[in-house]
């Protein structure tokens, strides 16, 4: 039984017939070499006999890929990021469950990664108690944090530029924002002492993470939030702003037993992120605010031809646009 495509169950004509499209059992390395392998096939074109052969071939490749780990006695716990990428490559196309009463439409990799995230966050929360097992079976206690962050000001940062060299500047700025949100997510994992397994999503200027609900994590998030915005302000002015907030969760919330679904909690988190736009300067100190509203000591030497920002020295473009243009 291979992984089933989600899109096969979508019909533009209402409740149409479910079409079983299956992903071929291939590693991500195989897919990169031949992108056609990524597209799912109708069930009749990928029969069970072929699936069985592909399972065996995939397992043989996995054993070979992990040979060095076994021969050198490498500890996977010390190489979690490498392990995640290895499992992603081999398990993205495998179903988490092959039970007859369940649709095989969830990837084994995503299932394992999510399980690891819950386990790590739960261990982090329980470690703050004198007895690690105390209250472990209390599903109503809010032991988890759903943390969300996104970059505000993306549209104006990307598109309010002149047409001169627009293509490379758009590429540079878009890639910068993608790297920026992933870097912030990795910083959150670092200060909270967690791994990439706890990163649920990072794309489009947004990131979501599952953390342990501890006072240390909350204090670290507050410090990181302030530091990131101070860095952004020094580098890019007040055009970009990092919004960050977190929502406590219980095991009942995760299992939809508390009367609200995870989708409702996610919605609430998104609304709280939006509210932070009204507090964009809240992280600034008194001295920072005075500098922000003061008249600059030096009269600008013209405007940047790309972003129209005032130039502190003679030239056609500012240093940021120079760097992002070259980057693009």
pLDDT in tens, the chain (328 residues): 999 998 877 777 766 666 789 999 999 999 999 999 999 999 899 999 999 999 999 999 999 999 999 999 999 888 999 999 999 999 999 999 989 888 899 999 999 999 999 999 999 999 988 888 998 899 999 999 999 999 988 888 887 777 777 888 888 888 888 899 999 999 999 999 999 999 999 988 899 999 999 999 999 999 999 999 989 888 887 788 899 999 999 999 998 888 888 888 889 999 999 888 787 777 777 777 777 777 766 766 778 888 877 777 777 788 888 888 888 8
Nearest Cα to 132, choosing from 212, 211, 198, 206? 212
The dihedral region occupied by 226, where left means phi > 0, alpha psi between -120 and 50, and beta the remainder, is alpha
Question: With contact defined as beta carbons under 8 Å apart, do 1 and 95 qualify?
Answer: yes
**Predicted pLDDT at 16:** 60
**Predicted pLDDT at 14:** 66
* Backbone phi and psi for residue 128, each to the nearest 5 degrees, phi listed first: -80, -5
CA distance 280 to 153: 11
The dihedral region occupied by 38, where left means phi > 0, alpha psi between -120 and 50, and beta the remainder, is alpha
**Predicted pLDDT at 299:** 64
pTM: 0.87
Three-state secondary structure string covering 32-58: HHCHHHHCCEEHHHCCHHHHHHHHHHH
Residues 6+ apart with CB under 8 A from 205: 150, 151, 154, 177, 178, 181
CA distance 262 to 146: 10
Residue with structure tokens 């059992």? 25
């Amino acid at each position: 039984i291979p992984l089933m495509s989600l899109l096969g169950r979508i019909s533009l004509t209402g409740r149409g017939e479910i079409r079983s499209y299956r992903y071929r059992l291939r590693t991500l390395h195989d897919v990169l070499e031949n992108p056609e392998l990524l597209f799912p096939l109708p069930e009749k074109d990928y029969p069970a006999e072929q699936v069985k052969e592909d399972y065996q071939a995939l397992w043989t490749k996995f054993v070979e890929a992990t040979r060095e780990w076994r021969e050198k006695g490498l500890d996977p716990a010390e190489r979690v990021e490498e392990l995640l990428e290895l499992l992603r490559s081999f398990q993205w196309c495998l179903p988490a469950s092959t039970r007859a009463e369940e649709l095989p439409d969830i990837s084994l990799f995503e299932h394992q990664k999510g399980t690891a995230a819950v386990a790590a966050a739960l261990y982090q929360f329980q470690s703050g108690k004198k007895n690690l097992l105390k209250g472990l079976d209390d599903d109503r206690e809010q032991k988890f944090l759903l943390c969300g962050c996104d970059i505000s000001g993306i549209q104006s940062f990307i598109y309010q530029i002149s047409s001169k060299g627009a293509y490379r500047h758009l590429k540079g700025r878009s890639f910068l924002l993608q790297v920026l949100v992933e870097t912030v997510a990795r910083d959150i994992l670092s200060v909270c002492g967690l791994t990439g397994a706890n990163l649920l999503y990072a794309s489009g200027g947004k990131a979501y993470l599952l953390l342990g609900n501890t006072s240390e994590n909350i204090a670290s998030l507050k410090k990181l939030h302030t530091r990131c915005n101070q860095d952004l302000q020094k580098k890019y002015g007040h055009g970009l702003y990092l919004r960050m907030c977190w929502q406590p969760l219980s095991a009942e919330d995760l299992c939809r037993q508390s009367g609200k679904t995870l989708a409702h909690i996610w919605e609430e988190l998104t609304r709280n992120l939006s509210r932070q736009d009204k507090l964009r300067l809240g992280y600034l100190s008194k001295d920072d605010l005075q500098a922000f509203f003061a008249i600059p000591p030096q009269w600008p030497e013209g405007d940047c031809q790309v972003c129209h920002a005032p130039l502190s020295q003679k030239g056609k473009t500012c240093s940021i646009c120079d760097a992002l243009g070259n980057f693009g």
